[in-house]
Chains A and B, each alone.
Chain A
Amino acid sequence: MWDWNFVWQIIPQLADGVVITIQATVLGTIIAMIAGLGLAIARRSRNKFIRYPFGFAAEFIRGTPLLVQLYFLFYILPDLGILLSPMVAGVIGLGVHYATYTAEVYRTGIDNVSKGQWEAAKAINLSTRQTWTQIIIPQAIPPMIPALANYFISMFKETPLLAAITVLELMNQARSVANYHYKYVEPMTMVGAFFLLVSVPSVIFLRRLEKRFAPKLR
């Protein structure tokens, strides 16, 4: 049933997939962090013509499946004359999808800084920039860290979706090996084991982060 020789034989090919999976997660994380910040700022805008469209877009993206969004990016953009490699389309899709989640984290992080801090900053006559960089952001960031880390772990677990738009990440490599040898048990189980091997330590690390930063959250 379980063939160790086969396991050793396919490890190099799966390792290629692991590299792509990790790249996609890292790039997606970077996009999600930056785009999420932009989105959070747009949703705090005083202009309702900025606030409402971005608010709706965020709700829409969060309420629809990432897979369909990936298809959409992958098939529609070429029609508009934008040619993206599957990997680039995939990373953008992941990043934008998770940006709608990170934006919420930024928002609650900022809203959780108590009103007194804003008033005190005003009282000692700090400029808007000083208020943000010296008072608000340093207090808002620590409680955000565990929440952000949580979403990046989720993103990592969603990278197998990129297989659907032909990115050769771990899941796709495992499927092609499985189809080629017509043996599913080993490759599928190995993929599962890999995810477990990364996720479980990250969750333990995450709980530590939560313990470290949570007391500061009011």
Chain B
Amino acid sequence: MEQWYGYIGLILDGAVVTAKITVLGCALALVAAFTAGLGRISRFWQLRWLATAYIEFFRGTSIFVQLFWAYFVLPLLGVPLSPLQAGVLALGLNVGAYGAEVVRGAILSVPREQYEGCKALNFTRIQELRHVILPQAFVLMLPTFGNNAIELLKGTAVVSLISLSDMTFQAQVVRAQTGSTAVPFLTILFLYFAYSTVISNSIKALERRLSRGLDVTKG
């Protein structure tokens, strides 16, 4: 019994690392999604082209290839990254590419009258986005963002393959030391499930909070 405390400690350490990568990855993904999503609908073809290239590249190659590329190849090109940096970078940019399409779709689905209203009020393009379009579009983005965040959480397990001591990595350590597979792996499966439940519930709460006073039909 005494020894299990130590092993549970190991797995909890891993749980903290997983949470950290998930949060940092989501932050990067959010920034990337908005940058590329707005880039896709920019008036300048150079920006549109750049954003499309980014999105297609990151959606087209697999997250694992991106992660291994970031970890093994970037250092050789003179960009040394720690496993944590490589993991956050690859996951954030990958999920950001999926998110960009969500941002674009949500902005385009804001009804035309809203844009016409902005024109009538003589808003600049920035004002239009900031005060009228984004507050409405953001609510539409949330459900898919929630799914993307869960995909990112699931993706973090892969960083264990580049020697980052996340939950999956620690479960392997426990397995190697105790010879028991079922206990550590079932534990982390339930922890991952708890994490994704937390993510989806907080997104739902946020959605309720933000859609207050908005005339946005859900769906």
Chain A binder among B24-32, B37-45, B58-66, B104-112? B58-66
CA distance A203 to B66 in the complex (A): 19
Q: A76-B185, A171-B68, A188-B68 are in contact. Are A64 and B193 (CB under 8 A)?
A: yes
Q: Would you call A203 and B60 a contact (CB within 8 A)?
A: yes
Most buried by B among A60, A64, A65, A185: A65
Residues of A within 8 A of B73 (CB): 184-185, 188-189
Residues of A within 8 A of B188 (CB): 68
A110 at the B interface (CB under 8 A): no
CA distance A185 to B68 in the complex (A): 10
Within 8 A of B (CB), among A34-85: 59-60, 62-69, 71-72, 75-76, 79
Q: Would you call B62 and A64 a contact (CB within 8 A)?
A: no
Within 8 A of A (CB), among B154-174: 154-158, 160-161, 168, 171-172
A67's partner among B66, B77, B158, B186 (CB-CB below 8 A) is B158
Q: Would you call A68 and B171 a contact (CB within 8 A)?
A: yes
Residues of B within 8 A of A60 (CB): 189, 193
Residues of B bordering A, CB below 8 Å? 56-57, 59-66, 68-69, 72-73, 76-77, 150, 153-158, 160-161, 168, 171-172, 175, 181-182, 185-186, 188-189, 192-193, 196-197
Q: Which 10 A-B pairs have the closest CB atoms?
A: A65-B157, A63-B196, A199-B60, A160-B64, A157-B62, A184-B72, A65-B154, A67-B157, A75-B181, A64-B192
Known: A64-B196, A195-B60, A203-B59. 10 other contacts (CB 8 A): A63-B150, A63-B154, A67-B168, A68-B192, A71-B172, A71-B185, A72-B186, A76-B185, A158-B64, A178-B72
